[in-house]
Amino acid sequence: MNEMAKMVVVMTVLTVVSGGLLAAIRNGTLERIENQQLQFVKGPAIKEIMKGASNDPIKDRFKIKDGEVERSIFVGKFNGKPEVVAFETFAKGFGGPVGVMVGINLTNDTLAGVAVTTHSETPGMGARAKTDPTFVAQFKGKPALKPIKVTKDGGQITALSGATITSRAVCLAATKAGEIFKRLKPEIEKGIQKFN
Amino acid sequence: MAKSLAQEFTKGLWEEIPPFRLVLGLCPTLAVTKSVENGIGMGVATTFVLVFSNILVSALRKVIPSKVRIAAFIIIIATFVTVVELLMQAFTYPLFLKLGIFIPLIVVNCIVLGRAEAFASKNNIIRSTLDGLGIGIGFTLALGSLGAVREVFGNGTFLGMSVFGPHYEPFTFMVEAPGAFMCLGLMLCIMNLIGKK
């Protein structure tokens, strides 16, 4: 019985201590990890969309509660005023969810640009959505509040050859972003005040 | 029988170099050695876990009841692996993205548990630290050299720098999975040839 008690005590102490240690390290690194993710995963996409912004759009961000989820909104300043907001949306692609950073110009509700952040599409096929700049360039200037579609579905975006599903996913993500933008516009406008 | 402290350290570098001599920990050895950087990164992460789990296992060897020792070792190892994972995310995020799932899989790396069970649970802290350090560095060297061979031939680069110039046609077989097996096999073969003398 004595041995039994010892086992229980040792294992309990061990797990409690390791749990505590991990919690402490997690708390200590949480902010840094978030920054690293922003820099390496979302950062390039945001920079691409906000090319020429006078501020650092990765730093100038705020969060909005949208029902259950919290969305990070990135703000880009042009001509001294916060003009472009960007946030990430997801749509189902060929190999899983495709994450797309969508930038919307506040002055005329058009797309300032889109860029793929995370995906698991086929290399050389769907993966070109991220690497081929001519594909995402097509989104620039399109009205953000209307559904965006590939030409096959009656839209204006020429799909990547051999990667219609991925192209559709990017369009769908951009459309979703437009819907979210419509829904959250008052809050977004409130949020960007502090960057004026 | 008793080895000197220096021998505890150096045995991991040649006599008991993990993937080639002990033939342990082959999963990360085959999977991540597509480049030198990946190999060394994986090696350093494993070394960190090895050293700290060896220290802790050795320090607690008289406290841990033998019936639950494996479970206790796994808790210790898993804790340090999670620490490494968090630190890598915080400081070397691009490397973390490349190594991906293989970082959490250090938990089930036979080398780590093997050293805890076979060495650290029977030896004092100083010896265990040296053992962990030696084996870890040996593992890093092995992964680094395997990564070097595969990267140089498979991609024509070393640590991202071009080796053969722009006209080199990469031998991509080397960076694919079958190339990993071939490469490891040849390395083992060379190690055995040298060892026979």
Q: Do A10 and B63 touch (CB under 8 A)?
A: yes
Say what the pLDDT of residue A80 is. Answer: 76
Give a yes or no: residue A167 inside a domain.
Answer: yes
Do A32 and B91 lie within an 8 Å CB cutoff? yes
- What residues of chain B lie within 8 A of the CB of A33, using their CB? 86, 89-90, 93
Cβ count within 10 A of residue B162? 11
List, for chain B, all residue ranges whose pLDDT scores fall below the cut of 70. Answer: 1-2, 197
Q: Is A55 contained in some domain?
A: yes
Residues of A in contact with B73 (CB under 8 A): none
Is A71 within 8 Å of A87 (Cβ atoms)? yes
Query: Does some domain include residue A84?
Result: yes
| Torsion sign across C-alpha atoms A84, A86, A91, A93 | positive
CB contact under 8 A, B65 and A7: yes
The answer to whether residue A18 is domain-embedded is no
Residues 6+ positions from B33 with CB-CB distance below 8 Å? B39, B42, B143, B146, B147, B150, B180, B183
Q: What is the pLDDT of residues B66-112, one digit of tens each?
A: 889 999 999 999 999 999 999 998 888 888 888 888 888 888 888 89
Give the strand pairing for B161-162 and A110-116: unpaired
Q: How many CB atoms lie within 10 A of CB A143?
A: 12
Domain containing residue B131 = 2-196
Q: A31: part of which helix (H) or strand (E)?
A: helix A2-37
Give residue-wise pLDDT tens across range A18-45. 999 999 999 999 888 888 887 787 787 8
Number of domains in chain B: 1
Domain count, chain A: 1
pLDDT value at residue A1: 63
Does residue B142 contact residue B18 with C-beta atoms inside 8 Å?
A: yes
Q: Which residues of B touch A36 (CB under 8 A)?
A: 89-91, 93
List per-block mean pLDDT (blocks of 10 residues) for chain A, which spans 196 residues.
86 94 92 83 80 78 80 82 85 87 86 85 80 84 84 84 87 90 84 76
Residue A4 lies in a domain: no
**Chain A: residue nearest B64 by CA?**
A10
Q: Are A149 and A156 in contact (CB under 8 A)?
A: yes
- The pLDDT assigned to A49 comes to 81
Contacts of B161 (CB under 8 A, 6+ apart): none
According to the model, what pLDDT value does residue A117 have?
85
**Which residues touch B140 (CB under 8 Å, ≥6 apart)?**
B39, B40, B43, B44, B46, B47
Query: Hunting for tokens 């206790």 — which residue is that?
Result: B72
Closest A-chain CA to B62: A10
Domain containing A106: what range?
A: 46-195
